[in-house]
A and B are shown apart, each in its own frame.
Chain A
């Protein structure tokens, strides 16, 4: 499988702030790739480097087989970008912005444009200054999605959308994937990532901390166990893979690494179990674990 995006060991500093600190990112052609990380982790910075807007201090980046800095103009014909902060020209209507950006990139599909306008319920006649945040985002989304491009780079595209529009967005992205387009989706909405993404990359403080399919990531995570025991139990705390153990009145509560589940259950069984609740890791927990470690 070929790679639409490949970044290796990117670093970027803004004055004294080290925004990126050895970031790796690989996006395969044809996949929807989730890009996650707490505020200030460096997602927007990475995306701007991939777009040739910022120059990385060190590391390498390849995009659609080209150099994002040197070949920017040519590469941009084959991609569309929705920024995290969409600002529009106050005196241009939404429809004008959509058409202009599409034409600059080499043309857009008028049928697809009208279809998207209807589905996103967007009035293209309003002036840029009169749109709400969500509607500004829709203008940028329609402009990007109506262009015939290979790669979509979306930086928190749904942060201003209402739940109904969020649903439309998911459908549209699924259609895009079915057409074989590659999508890099930076997002804080985990259900969205879970619903759309084939693979995800989690970054923290400018560094990649996890990357893989959702199943792989789940596998890396821990299951929570709550058990009521019939007899005393020893040595649970020292077992490999057991974390956060609380024992009280013959009840135990702990988290266990996925690959150590079997031996731990065996150990519990030997002590005698009256009742057992096991909770598979939610993505939320998975992400929160990475997010929280920032502090």
Chain B
């Protein structure tokens, strides 16, 4: 493991901005849940009826795992049941980025030539991911203790988060050995995560044996605040060790840069359509866009599927129900739910918008912009190919998410004709705000290219503002920083066109400014 420590420090240094961007929001989220549960169900009796109603709803327990108690801690941990899945996903991305992506870019060869051990890259990436998720878990524990919840339970919750990260770091480590392409490796690891999640859902809906087949399933048996079972953490550590050993074993059997699964050959000549910057952009963006569309379809189906139960659940809280009904009548609760889900979809879609736009910058730093820009393609045309995906792709992603939500809700309530359109519309209202995030990325790329990745920071700020801002009672002026704050709360509130128009105009101005900068500056700026 010569050099692994040095590489570990290098990775931690490279991620010193990116890692906190997800660790902190995820560690704060359970505290937000605790606060809102405490507010909505202040008495033990109210919590008991909330727990009973939740436990009776297949859709909800499928999403979050089983309800196993009615204390504030138990309910919070249950409500946070989706966070481990997100941690697993982010950990996979981190590990692949520091292993296979590095190799694909040829940077591993550079480092491989200096004196580092054969498995140092893998070891360093795994250690970095494990450190990061452990930090996330530890922070969660501290924040929950800060909410006056029992220390042991808080520790179990943090350990549950961290342990899920460990397992999927190792899963990513194994996947990275299999193929030569980072994209395919990512796909394999995420498919494994998806399978684990589906097994947990299936286990929840009936066959308990399936829960045991899924790490995401048995990790829920930690039951923080209720039973605090530590054996699940031990099991997770053992599984992580076994998967790591497998990854090391596979890594020993292959060459640097090569994969265990063979790479397929491509066509000897280009298809007649591959003749423009847009056609090239399609080849570079289609995998990403397809993955996001599939993800949004799945999330939409879940969100829409549980909507009806969700609003009936809230309905059991008499006080809340009365309040909601006073404001908007019978559909009001469902509509309020859809409005907040639409914000969630909008923020996620902005993630796609930023990611797709940053491809432009990646093409530049990867020196793949040069061949195109010296083949009689103007800078604007080159950028437009990519921006077509960050702007129209975001629209496609949001439409899919909204339509899937509306479809699932329409089918469960038998009111498809009415619901499909209005729920899709609620999601599409988010589009101008997501565009603003894409446009901020373009502006940074054009004017301050070295800071282009700061667009993620802007998105993180919006996430904090719009997800925990209301609970934390942030100042209105701070709330106003996020474009999502200004959107009408459709379908709970009527569509007002003014904010949609000025947000779109703002996006247009920022994009134009970015393109202006791009046309005048040096390329590449590395």
A interface list, Cβ under 8 A from B: 51, 53-55, 72-74, 76-77, 79, 81, 83, 85, 87-93, 95-101, 103-106, 124-127, 129-130, 140, 143
- Tell me which residues across on chain B come within 8 A of A104, comparing CB atoms: 275-277, 372, 375-377
B interface list, Cβ under 8 A from A: 104, 180-183, 263-271, 274-277, 279-280, 283-284, 287, 366-368, 370-378, 520-524
Does the CB pair B269–A73 fall under 8 Å?
Answer: no
Q: By CB atoms of chain B within 10 A, which of A85, A98, A103, A129 has the most? A: A129
- Tell me which residues across on chain B come within 8 A of A53, comparing CB atoms: 370, 373-374, 522-524
- Whole-angstrom distance between the alpha carbons of A129 and B180 in the complex? 8
Does the CB pair B376–A76 fall under 8 Å?
Answer: yes
Does the CB pair B524–A93 fall under 8 Å?
Answer: no
Task: Give the distance to chain A from B92, nearest Cβ to Cβ, in Å.
Answer: 19
Instruction: From B269, B378, B524, give the contact of A99 (CB < 8 A).
Output: B269
Q: By CB atoms of chain A within 10 A, which of B266, B279, B522 has the most? A: B266
- Whole-angstrom distance between the alpha carbons of A76 and B377 in the complex? 8
Task: Give the distance to chain A from B277, nearest Cβ to Cβ, in Å.
Answer: 8
* 17 A-B residue pairings within 8 Å (CB atoms): A53-B370, A73-B377, A76-B377, A81-B371, A85-B367, A87-B367, A89-B280, A92-B266, A93-B267, A95-B266, A96-B269, A100-B270, A101-B375, A103-B275, A104-B372, A124-B269, A125-B265
Closest to B366 in A: A87
Does the CB pair B368–A88 fall under 8 Å?
Answer: yes
- Whole-angstrom distance between the alpha carbons of A105 and B378 in the complex? 11
Task: Give the distance to chain A from B167, nearest Cβ to Cβ, in Å.
Answer: 28
- Whole-angstrom distance between the alpha carbons of A74 and B377 in the complex? 9
Instruction: From B267, B279, B376, give the contact of A77 (CB < 8 A).
Output: B376
Instruction: From A73, A79, A95, give the contact of B378 (CB < 8 A).
Output: A73
Ordered nearest first, which 10 A-B pairs have the shortest CB separation? A93-B266, A99-B270, A104-B375, A76-B376, A96-B270, A125-B265, A103-B275, A95-B268, A81-B374, A124-B268
Does the CB pair A83–B268 fall under 8 Å?
Answer: no
- Tell me which residues across on chain B come within 8 A of A90, comparing CB atoms: 104, 181-183
- Whole-angstrom distance between the alpha carbons of A18 and B377 in the complex? 29
- Whole-angstrom distance between the alpha carbons of A96 and B265 in the complex? 12
- Whole-angstrom distance between the alpha carbons of A95 and B267 in the complex? 7
Does the CB pair A96–B267 fall under 8 Å?
Answer: yes
- Tell me which residues across on chain B come within 8 A of A140, comparing CB atoms: 371
Known contacts: A53-B523, A83-B370. The answer to whether A105 contacts B269 by CB under 8 A is no
- Whole-angstrom distance between the alpha carbons of A127 and B284 in the complex? 13
- Tell me which residues across on chain B come within 8 A of A103, comparing CB atoms: 270, 274-275
- Tell me which residues across on chain B come within 8 A of A100, comparing CB atoms: 270, 274-275, 279-280
- Tell me which residues across on chain A come within 8 A of B263, comparing CB atoms: 127, 129-130
